[in-house]
Structure 1
Amino acid sequence: MKTVGHALTEGLRARGVEVVFGIPGVHTIELYRGLSGSGIRHITPRHEQGAGFMADGYARVSGKPGVAFVITGPGLTNTLTAMAQAKADSVPMLVISGVNRRDSLGQGLGLLHELPDQAGLVRALCPSFQVTGPEVLERCLNLAFAAMLSGRPGPVHIEVPTDVMGMEAVLAGAPVAVARGVPDVAEAAVALNRAKRVVILAGGGARAAGAGLRALATALDAPVVQTVNARGLRAGGLAVAASPSLDAVRGLIAGADQIVAIGTEFGPTDYDMYVRGGLPDMAGMIRVDICPLQLARHPAAVRICGDAGAVMAALLAQVVPRKSDGTGRAAATMAAARAEVAGLSDESLGQIALLEGLRDAVPGAIIVGDSTQPVYAGNLLYDHDRAGGWFNAATGFGALGFAPGAAVGAAVAAPDARVFCLIGDGGLQFSPAELRVAVDEGLDVTYVVWNNAGYGEIASAMRAANTEVIGCTPSPLGLEAFAAACGMGYVCIAPEVEALQAAVAARGPRLVEIRVY
């Protein structure tokens, strides 16, 4: 007999799912029955939050939804933090959980893993669909994939009651295709053809359309300011891989006679990191976003709702190419931004030099960051060399412990790439067990641990606020012994570019400790 569990995995496979990250439990055994022979690879994290972070990293690198299987109750609540991170960064993630039998829901009977209203808890964050019977499974899958892939991506939840999982089911029909049209861009093209000094603001929504962004920027001779989630998009000499929180970048924006914002939500952690206000007036901008709600949140002269790649292709067909001073403006802005960062902190400039040394030593690598000092420095100013190859949890939702799991997901999605997990000693202790997953799966992940013996970034912020530093000195792990316990290689180095370049010559799974205390 083909059960709902079998039909679910068939439906996932038909929709292109190749990997699921999950921890089985008594409430999901029937869902796991269908995995055997399905062709879907299963990877076991050490915590359900890690499953979510792995699905996140996989989705960012592969461009396909990341999928997690978790149990009812605590399995799902453990995953909510990862789902919230995915929501903040527009990452498609499908979390499939069990839920107790239908006749017990909301009754308070004290069943194992019981929640008063599991779906209601999730709906505060994202869509949730319940498979109330075998006949609605296919509809739930179609709704879930439509929610992830049409409009702004994000997390989606499907729950399957335990009394439904083992029922006989047949999944018929092909997956529903998500169609996207191309909106009218004539008004925007007219405005761009009038402009002399265009500046493009590129966010994570442009990450999958690097070629189109490069072509449009070249035609408009427009510097491209990249937010954190757009870093690595190669724009030739037009790239401005520096935060719009910096005065140098704000000066470039203020000097434009036309701004084009593509796939960016104008979040404060990108545009006002120091919470000081003073952004240039951008009410006359052309704004492109796939989400109509986003378009309504900021003033704009022209709003275009559509896929970034399709809109840029349509604009490229209508704009008149020009030659001007775009590369000069971009280079001058980058130089001024570097000088500004040097004025803010010598330490930040040194950390940026480490990142640049790592990039130069291992071209085309993927660097997955946590909330740690070198990552904050890189978010201020760092030009990566691979589209989608620089991402971290130090903006938006800002979940500590994100990087170990996300790096595993990234390595699964891109097995031929070098993957580096850049994390602090404090953040590592949020999810240290996920390093063992890299060993189990034989993944080429190098964990680079910035060990300042505490929460150094928070301590600096407390000192800047003239507050006594309290709670910022948790003792670090003995990283050499920890690496040995995980079964991976280890080296300890000073925070020097040459030392880091030598340390990363060996492949992972491996741990490199940068000791700075």
Structure 2
Amino acid sequence: MKTVGVALIEMLEHLGTEFVFGIPGVHTVELYRGLAASDIRHITPRHEQGAGFMADGYARASGKPGVCLLITGPGLTNAITAMAQAMQDSVPMLVITGVNPADSHGKKRGLLHELPDQHGLICAMTPHSYSLRAAADLPDVLRTAYEVFASARPGPVHIEIPTDLMAAPMPDYQMPQPSAQPPRANAAALTEAADLIATAKSPLILAGGGCQGAGADTMCFAEALDAPVLSTANARAHLGVHPLHAPASASIPAVREYIAKADLVIGLGTEMGPTDYDVFVDGSFPELQRFIRIDIDAARLTQDPICDVGLHGDVTQTLADLTPLLPPRADLSGAARTAAIIAAATPPSGSAMAADLEILKAVADALPACTIVGDSTQIVYSGNLLLPPEALPAGWFNSATGYGTLGYGPPAAVGAALARPNTPVVCLVGDGGLQFSIAELASATDADVPVIFLLWNNSGYREIETYMKNAAINPIGVTPSCPDLMHIATAYGLTGLRARDLPSLKAALTEAALSDRPSLIECIAPDSDYIPAHWGG
């Protein structure tokens, strides 16, 4: 008979798993028994947090759950930060861990990797956690996990398997067949929403991460309303370049003026959270005149800002049901309003943000079809505020929203490159963030993915340093030293390149794109105190 570990791999393959991310240990080896005979590829990070971030990046780039295999205890706790980021950004992730034998739970025997209550610990970090207790339950547990991804707000789902159960015989089983569908908005609410839309003279749409996979539907809906669409960081690349798409943040004061003027705002799959709508923490997001909200999570429909009509469903199906109910509309100058929003959001020439956007435009010019994966760093913050349409990449996501982790970018870019093998992937990361996960540069080499790591070196945690100075606090702890990155690149098997200005950056990006191995491009911030000898003075 097959073991539970072997059956698990067969079921994952049946469910469409292409990659699993993890570091094997004595508490998971039985889960690896079936891997060699499967088509699933194992990717080994340098740290379990990297495994979680790789799974996150893969999920965002592919639209499918990223899967981790982790040991009990430290393997899981190392990945909790990645799970929290996925939880905040609604990213589907399946984290499968070992756990010590079931008869030892709660007895504090001092076993290797023992936690007092691993299941209880992780329940707060995931929408669903399952503790497998019988081999025969495995198909149902996996089916339920994938039904969560399909029918509710996604997030990291956890399954723990006791080590003594992994090697147990697996009774006859059928492959899990997830069948749950997302909720569908009721007809009365759809009619009420359509009636509100019919009377609106200056509607405006706020699109969030729930628009993943619904970009075409969103823009068709916008055309039916002739309404501008403002996108959050997690929606931006899904909507693409369109006369009605303003890839600008609702945190920008000039953009908020247009939101305040709208006589109807429609929120599509957006939490309306402060990391998207109040980045500057000024509490000045305008009161909405009328508000329609579409969300797969019913709880969001009752949270601020309170909506006039709440539609409980996923964006794709709800827009398919709602759009045919809308009457033909006269020209409301939606394209002109969109252009005005973009113009109002554009920073003045010579500002720091304008300089950041020039770098993003240089990336788009050199690699027009690239996916950009970002860490929490200066250039990413600027891109989240505004991505000019001419600089809009094929993919854009980062950790500067939601949980806001550092060190996310490098491993997440590896996951994205595995999901999109024919698309250039650029990782935007600062020198501070890179050193949280610098060893994952080697993981890119091992995985044989030609990620371009574009490093913005401003000699430390510059954003925090500036914040401390503005608050009249003497900056302390914000200038960690940076190693010689060209030597680091060579040591990890990457192509090391430097850029001193925009032309040399474009040249470096072009050279890196032609390489069949990962590359690291170091850019020194113009006002940085860090002028290393290897920069050439």
TM category, shorter: over 0.9
CA distance, structure 1, for counterparts of residue 481 and residue 335 of structure 2: 47
CA distance, structure 2, for counterparts of residue 22 and residue 100 of structure 1: 18
Asked if 1:129 is matched to 2:130, the reply is: yes
In the TM superposition, 1:363-374 aligns within 5 A as 363-374=368-379
CA distance, structure 1, for counterparts of residue 173 and residue 95 of structure 2: 20
Counterpart position of 1:488: 494
In the TM superposition, 1:151-170 aligns within 5 A as 151-169=152-170, 170=172
In the TM superposition, 1:59-70 aligns within 5 A as 59-70=59-70
CA distance, structure 2, for counterparts of residue 427 and residue 181 of structure 1: 39
Asked if 1:332 is matched to 2:345, the reply is: no
CA positional deviation for 1:230: 0.9
Q: Does 138-147 or 383-392 show the bigger shift?
A: 383-392
Contact preservation (8 Å) 1:100, 1:114: yes
Contact preservation (8 Å) 1:207, 1:387: no
**Given residue 511 of structure 1, which amino acid in structure 2 is its aligned partner?**
L
Contact preservation (8 Å) 2:86, 2:92: yes
In the TM superposition, 1:223-238 aligns within 5 A as 223-232=228-237, 233-234=239-240, 236-238=242-244
Counterpart position of 2:140: 139
In the TM superposition, 1:342-381 aligns within 5 A as 342=348, 346-381=351-386
CA positional deviation for 1:235: 5.4
CA distance, structure 2, for counterparts of residue 248 and residue 210 of structure 1: 25
CA distance, structure 1, for counterparts of residue 478 and residue 3 of structure 2: 51
CA positional deviation for 1:251: 0.8
Asked if 1:291 is matched to 2:297, the reply is: yes
> Given the two structures, how large is their TM-score scaled by the length of structure 1?
0.97
CA positional deviation for 1:220: 0.7
Query: Deviation digits for residues 366-398 of structure 1, max 9, x if unmatched?
Result: 000001110111111114666871101011100
In the TM superposition, 1:36-75 aligns within 5 A as 36-75=36-75
Query: Deviation digits for residues 40-61 of structure 1, max 9, x if unmatched?
Result: 1111111000000000000001
Match of 2:6, SS state, is helix
In the TM superposition, 1:268-417 aligns within 5 A as 268-282=274-288, 284-298=290-304, 299-322=306-329, 323-338=331-346, 341-342=347-348, 346-383=351-388, 389-417=395-423
CA distance, structure 2, for counterparts of residue 235 and residue 188 of structure 1: 27
CA distance, structure 2, for counterparts of residue 276 and residue 139 of structure 1: 47
Counterpart position of 2:214: 209
CA positional deviation for 1:333: 1.2
Contact preservation (8 Å) 1:425, 1:477: no
CA distance, structure 2, for counterparts of residue 303 and residue 395 of structure 1: 25
Counterpart position of 1:511: 520
Q: Does 143-152 or 68-77 show the bigger shift?
A: 143-152
CA distance, structure 2, for counterparts of residue 42 and residue 173 of structure 1: 21
CA positional deviation for 1:148: 2.3
Asked if 1:433 is matched to 2:442, the reply is: no
Match of 1:249, SS state, is helix
Contact preservation (8 Å) 2:370, 2:394: no
CA distance, structure 1, for counterparts of residue 490 and residue 241 of structure 2: 42
CA positional deviation for 1:501: 1.1
Contact preservation (8 Å) 1:76, 1:97: yes
> Given the two structures, how large is their TM-score scaled by the length of structure 2?
0.93
Contact preservation (8 Å) 1:229, 1:388: no
Contact preservation (8 Å) 1:10, 1:171: no
Query: Deviation digits for residues 146-201 of structure 1, max 9, x if unmatched?
Result: 22221100001000000100000033244121223532211111111111111000
Counterpart position of 2:83: 83
CA distance, structure 2, for counterparts of residue 234 and residue 320 of structure 1: 26
Counterpart position of 2:428: 422
Contact preservation (8 Å) 1:492, 1:512: yes
Sequence identity percentage:
50
In the TM superposition, 1:95-110 aligns within 5 A as 95-110=95-110
What is the total number of aligned residue pairs between the two structures?
A: 513
CA positional deviation for 1:491: 1.0
Match of 2:404, SS state, is coil
Which 4+ runs in 1 deviate beyond 4 A? 384-388
CA distance, structure 1, for counterparts of residue 284 and residue 109 of structure 2: 55
Asked if 1:192 is matched to 2:200, the reply is: no
Q: Does 301-310 or 379-388 show the bigger shift?
A: 379-388
Q: 1:222 aligns with which of 224, 227, 234?
A: 227
**Given residue 220 of structure 1, which amino acid in structure 2 is its aligned partner?**
L
CA distance, structure 1, for counterparts of residue 214 and residue 370 of structure 2: 19
CA distance, structure 1, for counterparts of residue 173 and residue 149 of structure 2: 20
- Cα gap change, 1:441 to 1:173, in 2 (>3 Å): closer
Match of 1:287, SS state, is strand
CA positional deviation for 1:226: 0.5
CA distance, structure 2, for counterparts of residue 203 and residue 79 of structure 1: 26
Query: Deviation digits for residues 435-482 of structure 1, max 9, x if unmatched?
Result: 111111221200001011100111111112121111100001210000
- Cα gap change, 1:269 to 1:388, in 2 (>3 Å): farther
**Given residue 44 of structure 2, which amino acid in structure 1 is its aligned partner?**
T
**Given residue 292 of structure 1, which amino acid in structure 2 is its aligned partner?**
A
Any gaps of 5 or more consecutive residues in structure 2? 529-537
Counterpart position of 1:179: 181
Contact preservation (8 Å) 2:364, 2:392: no
CA distance, structure 2, for counterparts of residue 387 and residue 301 of structure 1: 35
CA distance, structure 2, for counterparts of residue 303 and residue 228 of structure 1: 23
